[in-house]
Amino acid sequence: MKSKLMKAAEVYPEAGKRLSELKRTERMLEGRLLNCPQGKIHLVTRGEQVMYYLRRRSSERSGVYISVRDEQKIRTYLQKAYDEKLLRLVKQEIGELETFLQTNAEFPERIRNLYTKFPDRARKFIDAADLPDDELARRWLEAAFDAKEIQDIPVKLVTENGEYVRSKSELNIANALNRRKVPYKYECPLKLRSGTIYPDFTILNVRKRKVLYWEHRGMMDDRDYARHAVHRLREYQQNQIYPGDGLIITEETSASPLGTDEIYAVIRKFCL
């Protein structure tokens, strides 16, 4: 039951995204149909042959024949017919989604808050299906792990959370995540079929209830480093973790460093 309930964290945002896309399509179709010529195309099929007739008025029964050589006119009126049918379906789905969101969107929040309605001392006995965002993040961050040991790192490479990191770009990523209040762990072990690896950052997307891995490849102009990076990517993919779907990859070379704007853009896209 728990895994099914967690899906609610994705269902409602995705429904809202779909609604926005449909409304953009609705506006596009309405604008395109405004510029269409009057009349409707009527198709008559005889075996494998299709004939096209233009009905200028709804009262017309047959219409004016359009030669198949007049491809532009046929294309114009067929596209209009398709757009009209598509617009009706788009409007129907918009109505259904609006009703769904207005009627049901509060349920995930109510389920998350249900746990907090029990006394503090009683909560330890409950295996909650979902938790409020702050409680989920707190528990996730408090889960202990054995980080990869770092030696000989200058003091300046200490994050705002007090972790030692290996590069200036990792420092910038960690601090950006912290400032956006994104829960993360630095070099937390991840067990794959090929063995244990240490992703640069393990991230909890609280809104989606999803764990992500962020690998920053900071020396891509080094041939051996790049070869290792390709091998690591294949390890992820062999474990069903793919770029854009559970895995974030950023890259830089000595001539093209990772910028702060790029870091924040990645965080907005995948982590919030």
Q: Which two tokens mark 248?
A: 């974030």
Task: Judge whether 220 and 252 are in contact, CB under 8 Å.
Answer: yes
Residue 185 pLDDT: 97
**Cα distance between residue 207 and residue 217, in whole Å:** 27
Residue 156 pLDDT: 74
| Helix then strand then coil, % of the chain, to nearest 5 | 50, 20, 35
What φ, ψ does residue 190 adopt, rounded to 5°?
Answer: -130, 120
Q: How does pLDDT run along the chain (272 residues), one tens digit per residue?
A: 343 444 556 678 788 889 999 999 999 999 999 999 999 999 899 888 899 999 988 777 778 899 989 999 999 999 999 999 999 999 999 999 999 998 887 888 888 899 999 999 998 898 888 889 999 999 999 999 998 887 776 667 899 999 999 999 999 999 999 999 999 999 999 999 999 999 999 999 998 889 999 999 999 999 999 999 999 999 999 999 999 999 999 999 999 999 999 999 999 999 99
Residue 153 pLDDT: 66
**Cα distance between residue 29 and residue 23, in whole Å:** 10
Q: How far is CA 171 from CA 141, 215, 264, 265, in A?
A: 19, 13, 13, 16
Residue 5 pLDDT: 43
Mean pLDDT rounded to a whole number for the chain: 90
- CB crowding 163-195: b at 16 or more within 10 Å, else e: bbbbbebbbbbbbbbeeeebbbbbbbebeeeee
**Cα distance between residue 212 and residue 197, in whole Å:** 14
Residue 56 pLDDT: 87
Q: Which two tokens mark 265?
A: 């853009």
**Cα distance between residue 191 and residue 47, in whole Å:** 62
Q: How many CB atoms lie within 10 A of CB 89?
A: 10
**What structural domains and CATH numbers belong to the chain?**
2-107 (no CATH), 133-270 (3.40.1350)
Residue 9 pLDDT: 60
**Cα distance between residue 78 and residue 51, in whole Å:** 12
Task: Judge whether 216 and 210 are in contact, CB under 8 Å.
Answer: no
Instruction: Give one DSSP letter per residue of 96-108, joined into a string.
Output: HHHHHHHHHTTHH
Q: What is the pTM of this model?
A: 0.69
Residue 154 pLDDT: 62
The DSSP code for 148 is P
In the block, residue with structure tokens 């198949």: 68
Angle at 249 between CA 182 and CA 152, to 5 degrees: 75
**Cα distance between residue 207 and residue 204, in whole Å:** 9
Which value, in Å, is the radius of gyration of the alpha carbons in the chain? 28
